[in-house]
Amino acid sequence: MTVLENRGLTEPMKSAGAMTSALECAMTADDKVIILGEDVADPIGGVFKVTKGLSTKFGTRRVRATPISEQAIIGTAIGLSMVGYRPVAEVMFFDFITVAMDQIVNHAAKLRYMSGGATPAPITIRTTVGGSRFGAQHAQSLEAWFMHTPGIKVVMPSGPRDAKGLLESCIFDDDPCLYIEHMGLAFSTTEDVPVADFRLPLGKANVIRAGTDMTIISYGPMVRPSLEVSTTLAADGIDCEVIDLRTLSPLDLDTIFESVTKTRRAAVVHEATQFCGPGAEISSQIHEQLFGELLAPVVRLGAAYTPVPFSTALSGYPTHDTIVAAVQSAVRA
């Protein structure tokens, strides 16, 4: 049975399983898709078990466990991409990306540009964020750094269905993609996810709740809390529209502007630090384009400007109550 014939079949999956399904589908469709990273091969199958079973099915030639060297992992992935492969390179935690910044920012992101399009770098870098109890060096949200870097796409799913559709799209995109997984989402919610090949467009946000009074813009782990806030506020007579960005770069400004033109108020919510976080750019874009239409300044809610503490009580992440209070203040201003 072909992929297209299977497209309508779904199974309940959590995000970790949906990503495994995406990798399996991609590796089945194209033998140039390979995986490399620390502990990705069986029996471990990745620290969060996303690659579990794949080396058994496809062999260790295509699912390569590597030494603990982020520079080597990304450097090898770039070299493989230049000779026709589509490598999926895993960097275990987002903080460890810093070790390979030269390879990502000065090589992967620039090869297509410097070669006049002759040398794309179709690599997907999977990395994990979240969970302060892993310590300050294992939980930092650095997505704004890469939004600032031309030439690389930045993706962060909020649930199982998007986890599969966005990962497959990253793998088959001809530009380097940074695919950020939040460990708090890996085994939490369950959704019906297509079993076969399934791709969602990169750079296209998803309006997951329509509303007229306030636009709440979020991505990744803060999407579900934003939806819960919208339910709470509905009981207070405030009708919120909720946007899941899905992709941070390219940023779907058209969907954002269309929504805020209607609601005339906006809040941006994320786990990255509020200072110089993604919300700063989104807020600036809204103010520049829609200043005369706004009924209140754009609200930004993010983490405290501090290394991630071990205690979740000190994290400074937006909470249900802080988001509710910020929206109420903006609507009643």
Structure tokens at 295: 């009924």
138, 148, 182, 270: the active-site residue: 138
Mark whether 138 is an active-site residue.
Answer: yes
The residues assigned a catalytic role are: 138
